[in-house]
Amino acid sequence: MLPKYSLIVPIYNEEEIIPELYRRLSAVMNRLDGLAELILINDGSRDRSLQLLRELHQKDPRICYLSFARNFGHQIAVTAGLNFVRGQVIIILDADLQDPPELIPDMIEKWRQGYQVVYAQRTQRLKEGWFKRFTAYSFYRVLKKLADVEIPTDTGDFCLMDRQIVDILNSMPERTRYIRGLRSWVGFQQTAIRFERNPRFAGEVKYTFSKSLALAINGLVSFSIVPLRLSTYLGLVAAAAAILMALLVLYWRLFVPHSPLTGFTIILMAIFFLGSVQLVSVGILGEYIGRIYEEVKARPLYTLAEVGGFYDNSNSTNNSDKLDNFQDATQNLDKY
Ligand code: UDP
Ligand code: MG
């Protein structure tokens, strides 16, 4: 019997949280109107997370897990989960319980009303530092201005998606998986559900500043070419400034006896200004070219070291069912 609901949770060094996560999630799963599977993706954890996932899988057949051969990052972990789902309704949430599982029934209610995507929008971030709040706040607003699809502000990956949407996401070949952007790109009926973001249940934040920055740049570069145009604009501004300056110097030279614009200062300024404009432009170009390079190499998105569940479905007594599931899972392994 295939599950109706698939929950996807990426795990990176979350040993302190896994027992509580399981407790809260299974309470919610028990209340749902259909069978639910929970797919946990171990993103190369260095603590006991994988061991705990194995134990959970032994204890509860609704739990399946994928284990990466190394750390590939949150977005890739979620992508792997999406590749393996079997349910009709897919829900993505973080392991640290910042995304309250108790919201899931409300999301499902919206799905029943006909929405294919229900994303959770933060009204408040409780107890997160001012720096994180400020950078996140500004980033989402800049992205909204620049992106060519409307990506709602203050939304993360916590969402519900219909199978139809997930199939489209899975068919997208691109490697830069900015899931909240791709989800908006797909379209269909989307709606928000508002919530207060809780503080992390336990443990350290796994998104370091550099990981968050990389995610932000990925988001901008994969959903907008405005930064490329920026160098054109900067170049035009610099050219206009140069022409103005030339006219000024000419005027001073001809009509003002003791010209104030002599010496190296002005030359140095011009050199620094143009130098930085050029470096920034090359850097921006580099962001795009680097991504083209990544796409062209077309390496697999992740490597799997271990898979638990999916085919040894102990709920199913029917052998052909088991075989189907097994084939599904191995096909997935081939593809990714
Ligand atoms: N995570 C992951 N791989 C990473 C970093 C984080 O799978 O390289 C997972 C982590 O276990 C958690 C989720 O991504 O389930 C969000 O991470 P975190 O709570 O540290 O970041 P936040 O979004 O709260 O800043
Ligand atoms: Mg978190």
Q: What is the pLDDT of residues 74-83, one digit of tens each?
A: 999 999 999 9
Tell me if 74 CB under 6 Å of ligand 1: yes
**CATH architecture of the domain formed by 5-224+303-335:** Alpha-Beta Complex (3.90)
Tell me if 207 CB under 6 Å of ligand 1: yes
Question: Which residues share a beta bridge with 63?
Answer: 38
Query: What does pTM read for this prediction?
Result: 0.77
- Among 98-112, 152-166, 240-254, 288-302, which stretch is predicted with the lowest mean pLDDT? 240-254
Tell me if 162 CB under 6 Å of ligand 1: no
Nearest residue by C-alpha to atom 23 in ligand 1: 207
pLDDT tens profile 31-75: 999 999 999 999 999 999 999 999 999 999 899 999 999 999 999
The radius of gyration of the chain's CA atoms, rounded to the nearest angstrom, is 25
pLDDT of residue 26: 93
Whole-number Å distance, alpha carbon 147 to ligand 2 midpoint, is 25
Whole-number Å distance, alpha carbon 77 to ligand 2 midpoint, is 15
Say whether pLDDT at 177 is over 60: yes
Ligand 1 pocket, mutate which of 38, 45, 197, 207 (most atoms under 8 A from CB): 207
Centre a 10 Å sphere on the Cβ of residue 226 and count the other Cβ atoms it contains: 14
Which amino acid, residue 107?
Answer: M
pLDDT of residue 318: 43
How many CA atoms lie less than 13 Å away from 108 in the CB half-sphere?
Answer: 20
Tell me if 157 CB under 6 Å of ligand 1: no
Tell me if 42 CB under 6 Å of ligand 1: no
pLDDT of residue 320: 44
pLDDT tens profile 270-328: 788 788 788 888 888 888 898 899 889 988 999 999 998 876 544 444 444 444 444 44
Average pLDDT, integer, range 177-182: 90
pLDDT of residue 210: 85
**Could you tell me how far CA 92 lies from the centroid of its own chain?**
11
